Structure 1
Amino acid sequence: MTPLLSATGLHVTFPGRRGGPPARAVDGVDLDVGAGEIVALVGESGCGKTTLARSLLGLVRPASGSVTFGGTPLSYASRDLKAYRRRVQLVLQDPSGSLNPRHTVYDAVAEGLRIHAYEGDERAAVASALSRAGLRPPERFFLRYPHELSGGQRQRVVIAGALVLEPELIVADEPVASLDASVRGEILALLLRLRDELGLSALVVTHDLGLAWNIADRVAVMYLGRIVETGTVEEVLSAPRHPYTQALLSVLPESPTAPVVLSGEPPDPSRVPAGCRFHARCQVLASGEAERVGVAARCRTEDLPVLAGHGRGAACHWADRE
Structure 2
Amino acid sequence: MTETETPVEHAAATRTTLLEAQDLHVDFASRGRRARAVDGVNLAIGEGEIVALVGESGCGKTTLARTLLGLERPSSGTVRYGGAPLSYDSRSLKAYRREVQLVLQDPTGSLNPRHTVYEAVAEGPRIHGLPDEEKVVADALSRAGLRPPERFFLRYPHELSGGQRQRVVIAGALALNPRVLVADEPVASLDASVRGEILALMLKLRADLGLSALVVTHDLGLAWNIADRVAVMYLGRIVESGPVEQVLTAPRHPYTQALMSVLPESPERVILTGEPPDPTRIPGGCRFHARCQVLASGRAEEAGVAARCRTEPLEILPAVPTAQEACHYAALNP
Length-normalised TM-score, structure 1: 0.98
Helix, strand or coil at the partner of 1:32? strand
1:32 corresponding residue in structure 2: 44
| Helix, strand or coil at the partner of 2:170 | helix
Q: CA deviation at 1:113?
A: 0.3
CA distance in 1, matches of 2:101, 2:277: 32
Residue 229 (structure 1) aligns with: 240
Aligned with 1:278 (options 284, 288, 305): 288
Tell me if the contact between 1:242 and 1:314 (Cα under 8 Å) persists in the aligned partners: yes
CA distance in 1, matches of 2:61, 2:152: 33
Query: Within the alignment, does 1:70 sit opposite 2:82 as a pair?
Result: yes
Would the aligned equivalents of 2:232 and 2:238 in 1 still touch at CA under 8 Å?
A: yes
**Post-superposition shift, 1:202?**
0.2
Residue number in structure 2 paired with 1:8: 22
Question: Structure 2 CA distance, aligned partners of 1:260 and 1:128?
Answer: 47
Q: Secondary structure at the residue paired with 2:307?
A: helix
Letter of the structure 1 residue corresponding to residue 61 of structure 2: K
SS in 1 for 2:331: coil
Give deviations 1:106-156, integer Å, cap 9, x for gaps. 0000000001111x2111110010000000010000000000000000000
Deviation (angstroms), 1:263: 1.9
Rounded to whole Å, the distance in 1 between the matches of 2:277 and 2:222 is: 26
8 Å contact from structure 2 (residues 58, 277) kept in 1? no
Structure 1 position 264, deviation (Å): 3.5
Contact residue 224 and residue 266 of structure 1 kept, 8 A: no
Q: Which of 165, 168, 176 is matched with 1:154 structurally?
A: 165
Map of 2:154 onto structure 1 = 143
Written as runs of structure 1 = structure 2, the 5 A alignment for 1:24-103 is 24-103=36-115
Stretches of structure 1 that go unaligned for 5 or more consecutive residues are none
Deviation at 1:2, TM superposition (A): 4.0
| Distance (Å, rounded) in 1 between the aligned partners of 2:193 and 2:309 | 43
Partner of 2:217: 206
8 Å contact kept, 2:59–2:277: no
Q: Does residue 1:109 correspond to 2:99, yes or no? A: no
In structure 2, the residue matched to 1:268 is: 278
How large is the RMSD of aligned CA atoms in angstroms? 0.8
Name the counterpart of 1:308. 318
CA distance in 2, matches of 1:259, 1:86: 43
Contact kept in structure 2, 1:2 and 1:71, CA below 8 Å: no
Mind listing any 5+ residue stretches in structure 2 that lack a counterpart?
A: 1-14
Which of the residues 179, 184, 191 maps onto 1:173? 184
Question: Which of 301, 304, 307 is 1:294 aligned to?
Answer: 304
CA distance in 1 between counterparts of 2:113 and 2:275 reads 37
- Residue type of the alignment partner of 2:264: P
Residue 191 of structure 1 corresponds to 202
SS in 2 for 1:172: strand
Q: TM-score, normalised by structure 2?
A: 0.94
For the pair 1:258 / 2:268, whether they are aligned, the reply is yes
Matched AA of 2:93: L
Task: State how far apart, in whole Å, the 2-side matches of 1:91 and 1:59 are.
Answer: 14
The amino acid of 2:298's aligned partner reads G
Q: 1:146, 1:11 → 2: CA distance?
A: 38
Letter of the structure 2 residue corresponding to residue 11 of structure 1: H
Question: After TM superposition, what 4+ stretches of structure 1 lie above 3 angstroms from structure 2?
Answer: none
Which amino acid is the alignment partner of residue 211 of structure 1? Answer: L
CA distance, structure 1, for counterparts of residue 186 and residue 254 of structure 2: 27
What is the DSSP-based 3-state SS (H/G/I as helix, E as strand, rest coil) of the residue aligned with 2:17?
Answer: coil
The one-letter code sitting in structure 2 at the alignment partner of 1:75 is S
